[in-house]
Structure 1
Amino acid sequence: MMRLACCTALLFVLRLLVGLPWFQVIPAILIFYLGSGGWSFLQIFAKTVGRDLHAAGVLLRVKMNVRRHLREKNTIPKIFAETVHRYGDKTALIFEGTGEKWTFRQLDEYSNRVANLLLQRGFKEGDVVALFMENRSQYVGLWLGMAKIGVEAALINFNLRLEALVHCVTISNAKAVVFGSELTDAVSEVHTSMRKAVQMFCSGDWDPKRVPQGTECLEPLLAAAPSHLPNRLFYIYTSGTTGMPKAAIVVHSRYYRMAALVYYGFRMKSEDVLYDCLPLYHSAGNIVGVGQCIIHGMTVVIKKKFSASRFWDDCVKYNCTIVQYIGEICRYLLNQPSIWEEFMKRFNIPQIAEFYGATECNCSLGNFDNHIGACGFNSQILPYIYPIRLVKVDEETMELIRGPDGVCIPCKPGEPGQLVGRIIQNDPLRRFDGYVNQAATSKKISHSVFKKGDSAYLSGKTEGKAGMAAIADPSHSSDLEKFVKDMEKALPPYARPVFLRFLPEVNKTGTFKFQKTELRREGFDPSTVSDRLYFLDSSRGRYVQLDEETHRSILSGKHKL
């Protein structure tokens, strides 16, 4: 009976989600079951059926909604208009920095002023405006107003300086830059390197003596603009860990999909209050976080920047029911190496939901059932619903390993590999929109991955928290003080190497590629590495030599990086 119930449920869900006719679904199910191992399959089914059917239901709901929005040509601003109609005087955004609250109607009016101002200045659909400012409610209103008239916002990491900053503005082909007054110095440093035709607007504390020549103060311009509704969305820059940041294209359907999958998958409600301390130039903060306000009517508390000491006080002050985190935030709050169970017990957290993905990817993973330590799952009983998998790669080159038929080889349970997602451009959950740069887009696509002739998105390699730079210095002539000063000027904090390793020469392969695998394997242990090792002591702002005692202190967590 259980086997029969399983077949019935799978057939129904597959028929709905995949859209296959019965005569194609039934053989696929029978083949899968015959090879599934009987009792072993029943054990897997019993443990995962609830999780998998919930995930399938979420995918079905989001897919149907995305298709409806595409059919009705509903943009994010149109969806937001429905939210405003439903929740008008409810608090939409709270900026923790000042305690200022905006209702949905106020956010709507502010974004209308932005749209009307840009129309007055001659901006039209398809034009790009770069947004370079720290977190605040105005950030949301600015890109939302741009989206209302089809002007695309290029959201730029406010940590960038010099060449990287110019690069991001340049590749977006922005006709204007809106920057926060707190970033005036950074803009002034590169103003002469930007195109002459770029208009400059400053938001915040106005000091005409400090801003670049020709810059206009934004606030009085918006105050004079009409607040009525005026007669593609925006770019989000990926981190660029292997070079300059890449501009990922975020269309309306992708914005909706990312926000909605989290909303329904993690069982959120419009009555929830979400604490968002992540940067709004990042998709996690701006789509997964603020998207719950724009699309689902949730109140979102915007924090200027993360503060471990203020985190819980803020949550209590604003009655937050959901907190959003990324990377190491929970570790900072708990301040100990093993965190999941201890974090839930110490702070009485009923559910931790995690997901793995990237702004542009089509193969996100989600932990829907509070499974400790998991960032997601790959269904064993509904393998056709969400075509993703881990495939084997060469650890040295990260090239995909293929079988005799030329198709990639799936990893077995417990084996490391690269996450891939099949690309189906007419499926709103499987499409890949890529980057502004076509060459960067092509690098993320591989063919004959699941089967001959198909296309798949290649997820990026996961990166560690701390980076190491290997430097060839046979004469011991490096000036570390100058290196730190130059690095602080050119690189944002997260891109600066925590460790340095000085080599007599940099080893290369026979084809002149750097041998990074051996360096990664050896790490920063002075007991096994004979080369000179240094680490960045943040408390002193300089590199100091790494010895075995300090190495042990770092590993134990006593010495913070």
Structure 2
Amino acid sequence: MWYYVIPALVIFGVVHVYTKSWLYILLRTWRRDLKALIRFSKVNYYLLKWERRNMTVPKVFVDVAAKHPHKVAFYFEDDIWSFQRVDEYSNRVANFFLSEGYQQGDCVALLLESRPEYVCLWLGLSKIGVKAALINTNLTGDSLVHSIEVASSKALIFGSDFERTLKDIQSKIVHLNKYQFNENMSLSKTLFDNAKDLRVCLKESPIDAVTEHIQKGNLKDHILYIYTSGTTGLPKAAVITNVRYMVMAVGLNKMVNVQDNDCIYDSLPLYHTAGGILGTGQALLCGATIAIRKKFSASNFWKDCVRYRCTIAQYIGETCRYLLATDDNNLVKHSVRAMFGNGLKAQIWKPFAEKFGIKEIYEFYGATESNSNLVNIDSTVGAVGFVPFYAKFLYPVSLVQCDEVTGEPLRDSNGRYTICRQNEPGVLIGKISALRAVNQFTGYADKVATEKKILRNVFSEGDMYFNTGDILMYDDFGYFYFKDRTGDTFRWKGENVSTSEIEAVISDIANLSDAVVYGVEVPGAEGKAGMAAIVDQTRSLDLEQFAEGLRKHLPVYAQPIFIRLVDSVELTGTFKLIKRDLVVEGFNIHVVKDEIFFYDVRTKRFVPLTKELYDLIMQGKVRL
């Protein structure tokens, strides 16, 4: 009977190839999965080792600095920071704030442009158990005040560049101790009479190690607050514990296969997770070298990579688009072999990699507070990561069916959620477990906001899952692809924008009854541009004063670019359906009968959206 075996196997193989069965999938993906298993095992090895030793970020960094004190930790402009210099500077910070009376559990807000001292300041505070609230440097007005207050900050460290921003809110921060960091070494004056010149104070502070305080640290201690815009309201302060920081930094290090001799180019803001943890964390925890740039510059990106001999660079989708648009004549020969980041669109993935000769692109998906992070380790175009079908018990993330309009997960007749099939869009959720570091959810400073992100009794009684609020889909091979954000949030210029926050600001400054804010797609632009439909039946809105009010109360990325004046909007149960129609119509003047205005960044005024201007925007010839 054996002669029947070979034909049967051939038929079995052909059937499985065409039906993409588990055998066919396994044959196609086993190399990818083996590589992922090895790297994921390394991540867990380090996390378990540090957990057993009750290590913290300061403890690990002290070991790293002692191992190679003279190695370069940070490049910044013409300055070079060795690991020893970082250690000593952060010791000065720790000793100074100890002398000021700060204790474990206190919080200090940090408002400063990206530079090595930025890292040293929060690292030094963490050495004595003091948390740092990393304030988004784009914030102004009430959003800025809220961010400082929600973290229960006792003090504010601020750069002299933010003089005008802080003057607008000085009456609301009189209770804070203030420390001014003068970026210009020759500058000696301070904005506030009671503010201390931090550079001067730190020069006089001792460099002695605060070993006793460092040893008191626990891996579950809070070390940072990083702000994220949720689906509603003002910025939320996501809690970053020592172990959370370690999960993100060492997780990326091992999955991306960063080597000790790599130099990473980090031009992303250090108040965000990408630049401030995934980037600089490679130095603090893993001993790599980081080249920091104050602000991203497309024209200097590759020049900097050559200057600092960078082998890896960070990106977000917007930066890739800007780089791809640069003049071909300005291309320089660099040594960057790999890039990691998020938001790189599939349409420009290959052109970007080919134009700049990037061999490996590690696109990842995640959020500051999320336990559902993914990473693409084999440069599959458009994918944000993968989970093999047979390994979900190792990394329990799922896509569940949701309402097409609201994005809310749907329960079945038994009160449970339904897992999506392949190629079916759904909301990504991740199982919460206190037993494994990679599955923990530390939440926000606001307990109410924390509870809103937790789904209970999802697949069984008593289980808990983190709701990312993002819609993804996965294919037969386990690759995940990002589709859209749910709720009242959109992404623009690398920032998450909360529509409800903008709606509240518009209602205040325009003194009008209702406003609806949403994101609209613009050809050639990453993310979605802000658009506001404002109820103005008498057309009495003063657009010049309105634009001034937006600039005063909202960061640049949150200011609407398009304004649509309408007679009414429905705010009852069908509100979301109306909003969806507004999103579909966008700023298409061939469809919309209402007046639409466009914010001209050159004149800083709203101008009527004419057919000629509309065509220029659609052709990508207008600066947004």
| Same fold per superposition (TM over 0.5) | yes
Q: Say which is worse superposed, 205-214 or 247-256, in terms of deviation.
A: 205-214
Q: Is the 8 A contact 1:175 1:199 kept in 2?
A: no
Cross-structure match for 2:607: 544
Cross-structure match for 2:411: 402
Q: Is the 8 A contact 1:166 1:190 kept in 2?
A: yes
Match of 1:145 among 115, 119, 124: 124
Q: Is the 8 A contact 1:259 1:288 kept in 2?
A: yes
Cross-structure match for 2:192: 212
Deviation at 1:240, TM superposition (A): 4.8
Match of 1:350 among 355, 359, 374: 359
Match of 1:94 among 75, 79, 92: 75
For residues 127-155 of structure 1, the C-alpha deviation after alignment (integer angstroms, 9 at most, x for no partner) is: 11111011111001000100111110010
Deviation at 1:504, TM superposition (A): 0.7
Instruction: Work out the CA distance in 1 between the residues paired with 2:265 and 2:46.
Output: 26
Instruction: Work out the CA distance in 2 between the residues paired with 1:555 and 1:449.
Output: 44
Q: Is the 8 A contact 2:182 2:188 kept in 1?
A: no
Cross-structure match for 1:51: 32
Cross-structure match for 2:242: 252
For residues 345-387 of structure 1, the C-alpha deviation after alignment (integer angstroms, 9 at most, x for no partner) is: 1111111111011011000111111101111223223222211
Instruction: Work out the CA distance in 1 between the residues paired with 2:374 and 2:17.
Output: 23
For residues 528-556 of structure 1, the C-alpha deviation after alignment (integer angstroms, 9 at most, x for no partner) is: 22222222222332222223443343333
The change in CA–CA distance for 1:545 and 1:80 in structure 2 (over 3 A counts) is same
Match of 1:531 among 586, 594, 597: 594
Deviation at 1:558, TM superposition (A): 2.8
Instruction: Work out the CA distance in 1 between the residues paired with 2:20 and 2:231.
Output: 45
For residues 228-256 of structure 1, the C-alpha deviation after alignment (integer angstroms, 9 at most, x for no partner) is: 10133111111356321100000011111
Deviation at 1:161, TM superposition (A): 1.0
Residue 81 of structure 1: SS of its match in structure 2? helix
Q: Is the 8 A contact 1:178 1:203 kept in 2?
A: no
Cross-structure match for 2:161: 182
Equivalent AA in structure 2 for residue 501 of structure 1: R
Match of 1:277 among 267, 273, 288: 267
Match of 2:133 among 154, 162, 186: 154
The change in CA–CA distance for 1:135 and 1:45 in structure 2 (over 3 A counts) is same
Deviation at 1:510, TM superposition (A): 3.6
Instruction: Work out the CA distance in 2 between the residues paired with 1:527 and 1:425.
Output: 54
Instruction: Work out the CA distance in 2 between the residues paired with 1:353 and 1:39.
Output: 26
Equivalent AA in structure 1 for residue 267 of structure 2: C
Cross-structure match for 2:523: none
For residues 253-291 of structure 1, the C-alpha deviation after alignment (integer angstroms, 9 at most, x for no partner) is: 111110111111111111111110011110110100000
Deviation at 1:39, TM superposition (A): 6.3
Match of 2:287 among 263, 281, 297: 297
The change in CA–CA distance for 1:47 and 1:195 in structure 2 (over 3 A counts) is farther
Residue 515 of structure 1: SS of its match in structure 2? helix
Q: Say which is worse superposed, 136-145 or 241-250, in terms of deviation.
A: 241-250
Match of 1:314 among 304, 310, 313: 304
Instruction: Work out the CA distance in 2 between the residues paired with 1:551 and 1:293.
Output: 47
Q: Is the 8 A contact 2:190 2:197 kept in 1?
A: no
Deviation at 1:90, TM superposition (A): 0.8
Instruction: Work out the CA distance in 1 between the residues paired with 2:612 and 2:24.
Output: 49
Deviation at 1:513, TM superposition (A): 6.4
Match of 1:237 among 218, 223, 227: 227
Q: Is the 8 A contact 1:156 1:237 kept in 2?
A: yes
Instruction: Work out the CA distance in 1 between the residues paired with 2:528 and 2:19.
Output: 43
Q: Is the 8 A contact 1:498 1:536 kept in 2?
A: yes
Equivalent AA in structure 2 for residue 375 of structure 1: V
Equivalent AA in structure 2 for residue 516 of structure 1: K
Q: Tell whether 2:447 aligns with 1:454.
A: no
Q: Tell whether 2:212 aligns with 1:222.
A: no
Residue 467 of structure 1: SS of its match in structure 2? strand
Instruction: Work out the CA distance in 1 between the residues paired with 2:434 and 2:614.
Output: 49
Cross-structure match for 1:32: none
Deviation at 1:203, TM superposition (A): 3.6
Instruction: Work out the CA distance in 1 between the residues paired with 2:249 and 2:469.
Output: 21
Q: Say which is worse superposed, 200-209 or 122-131, in terms of deviation.
A: 200-209
The change in CA–CA distance for 1:332 and 1:450 in structure 2 (over 3 A counts) is farther
For residues 388-435 of structure 1, the C-alpha deviation after alignment (integer angstroms, 9 at most, x for no partner) is: 122121122222112222211222222222111011122111010000
Residue 317 of structure 2: SS of its match in structure 1? coil
Residue 220 of structure 1: SS of its match in structure 2? helix
Q: Say which is worse superposed, 274-283 or 56-65, in terms of deviation.
A: 56-65
Deviation at 1:37, TM superposition (A): 11
Cross-structure match for 1:115: 94
Deviation at 1:61, TM superposition (A): 2.2
Instruction: Work out the CA distance in 1 between the residues paired with 2:199 and 2:137.
Output: 20
Q: Tell whether 2:428 aligns with 1:389.
A: no
Cross-structure match for 1:497: 560
The change in CA–CA distance for 1:138 and 1:430 in structure 2 (over 3 A counts) is same
Q: Is the 8 A contact 2:398 2:429 kept in 1?
A: yes
Q: Is the 8 A contact 1:423 1:455 kept in 2?
A: yes
Q: Is the 8 A contact 1:115 1:146 kept in 2?
A: yes
TM-score, normalised to structure 2's length? 0.81
Residue 244 of structure 2: SS of its match in structure 1? helix
Residues matched between the structures, number: 525
Q: Say which is worse superposed, 35-44 or 429-438, in terms of deviation.
A: 35-44
Equivalent AA in structure 1 for residue 356 of structure 2: F
- Across the aligned residues of Structure 1 and Structure 2, the Cα RMSD in angstroms comes to 2.1
Q: Which structure's residues are more often strand, by fraction?
A: 2
TM-score, normalised to structure 1's length? 0.89
Equivalent AA in structure 1 for residue 559 of structure 2: R
Deviation at 1:303, TM superposition (A): 0.4
For residues 53-85 of structure 1, the C-alpha deviation after alignment (integer angstroms, 9 at most, x for no partner) is: 322333332223212212211110110011112
Residue 367 of structure 2: SS of its match in structure 1? coil
Deviation at 1:86, TM superposition (A): 1.6
Equivalent AA in structure 2 for residue 397 of structure 1: T
The change in CA–CA distance for 1:368 and 1:224 in structure 2 (over 3 A counts) is same
Instruction: Work out the CA distance in 2 between the residues paired with 1:36 and 1:442.
Output: 45
The change in CA–CA distance for 1:192 and 1:267 in structure 2 (over 3 A counts) is same
Instruction: Work out the CA distance in 1 between the residues paired with 2:17 and 2:59.
Output: 46
Deviation at 1:194, TM superposition (A): 1.6
Deviation at 1:209, TM superposition (A): 5.5
Matches within 5 A, 1:460-471: 460-461=469-470, 462=485, 463=490, 464-471=527-534
Q: Is the 8 A contact 1:395 1:517 kept in 2?
A: no
Q: Which runs of 5+ in 2 are unaligned?
A: 1-15, 213-221, 327-344, 471-484, 491-526
Instruction: Work out the CA distance in 2 between the residues paired with 1:296 and 1:49.
Output: 29
Deviation at 1:38, TM superposition (A): 8.5
Q: Is the 8 A contact 1:202 1:215 kept in 2?
A: no
Deviation at 1:323, TM superposition (A): 0.8
Instruction: Work out the CA distance in 2 between the residues paired with 1:174 and 1:438.
Output: 17
